[in-house]
Copies of this chain bind each other. A is one copy, B any other.
Amino acid sequence: MKKPYLFAPGPTPIPTNTLLEIAKPIDYHRTVESAELIRSASKKLQHVFQTQNEVLMLTCSGTGALEAAVASLFSTGDRVIVIRSGKFGERWGEICTAYGIDLEPIDLEWGHSIDPQQVADRLKQYPDCKAILSTLCETSTGALHDIQSLGQVLKGSETLLVVDAVSALAADNLEMDNWRVDVVVSASHKGLMSPPGLGLVSYSENAWRASEKSNLPKYYFDLRKARKTSREGSTPYTPAITFIIALNQALDQICQEQIQNVLHRHARLANATRNGVKAIGFNLFARSPANTLTSIQLPAEIDGKAFVQMMRNRYSITYAGGQAHLSGKIIRIAHLGWVTEHDVIVAISALERGLAEVGYPVPPGAAVAAAQETFVSKPDIPNIK
């Protein structure tokens, strides 16, 4: 019998109730009911983004939302600092380059996180920089960037802080308003437990001001149009209404748990996963690991690509492998979205099984015990009598 478990960093498991919502007959999108739906989902997104700014829903994947954020914000020849420490930092740079934006990259070794002082120094060198672009969690390495400190570096400056929180939203804390973040980009299919196909963008008032001057060519990704229609509970073009329904339903669950509790849960899941991995002598790939996913450095004798494939074929367990030059060298286990402590126990115990399978046995239960110990030592589940 096959019973699949999905531990990839997106798409993530979708709650069954959410799946059933999207199986309902479709309706026209220019109706009073759809307007209410769009307004309701937008409002709940503000809770998750921890912002008073509007959150816009675009029909595209996360990358489309990254591009919308750039194309609506900048003008030809603007200079920006991009933090590149993995595939998605690089993507920020590629998008800017495609639009003729002048790039000042800060390149870090993959797996490392930004030292805010580096940004302060670079800003001193180029005080005219229009923005700093960073990821929250660099999904390709599992490393977390300290966005709060970057916000402090930028305090009093006009430079905008632009954050790709595609994978990390609702898993790693991001207080858009409190931390002085100007642009947050995310997507439906990670922490928000919905299918891939909706990109999400929120702009601060400073970002909207910059967007008024933006001269980059855009049409579908023009956020000013999206903002205008959003206020009417609408979208400039036919939206993926199915996914807005899904997202709205998933957001109900998140809002009921409350974002602070959702973040706390992810911290516990990540902590247990890390302790499990370390207990069997493996190293984490990221220096400052995110709560979104755990990247594991594999010993040289294990072929990570074959390992991931074997886990899927033999155990119905989907981990993600490494990307680009990390292919075969790391595996990535996401504990993201609709995931509980029991799921993490499965992810960790399956890892033990798989290692034995490829001739790299670890003491049975060693990783599980360490994860379990983490959960038990500070129980989070209320003791209801």
Contact = CB atoms under 8 A, between A and B. Distances in A.
Interface of A: 4, 6, 8, 10-11, 13-14, 19-20, 22-31, 59-64, 67, 94-95, 98-100, 187, 189, 195-197, 216-222, 236-243, 312, 318, 320
Nearest to A190: B238
Contacts of A61: 59, 237-240
Contact of A197 (B30, B95, B197): B197
Contacts of A243: 197, 240, 242
A238 B63 CA distance: 8
A25 B10 contact: no
Pick the 10 closest A-B CB pairs, nearest first. A197-B240, A23-B23, A63-B237, A195-B242, A8-B28, A64-B220, A98-B219, A61-B238, A19-B23, A196-B238
Chain A binding surface, main DSSP class? loop
B26 A238 contact: no
Most buried by B among A13, A218, A242: A242
Contacts of A27: 4, 6, 11, 318
Contacts of A237: 61-64
Nearest to A7: B28
29 contacts: A6-B25, A6-B27, A11-B28, A14-B25, A19-B23, A22-B22, A22-B242, A23-B23, A26-B195, A28-B318, A31-B318, A59-B60, A59-B196, A59-B197, A60-B220, A61-B239, A61-B240, A63-B219, A63-B220, A64-B220, A94-B219, A98-B217, A99-B217, A189-B238, A196-B238, A196-B241, A197-B242, A197-B243, A242-B242
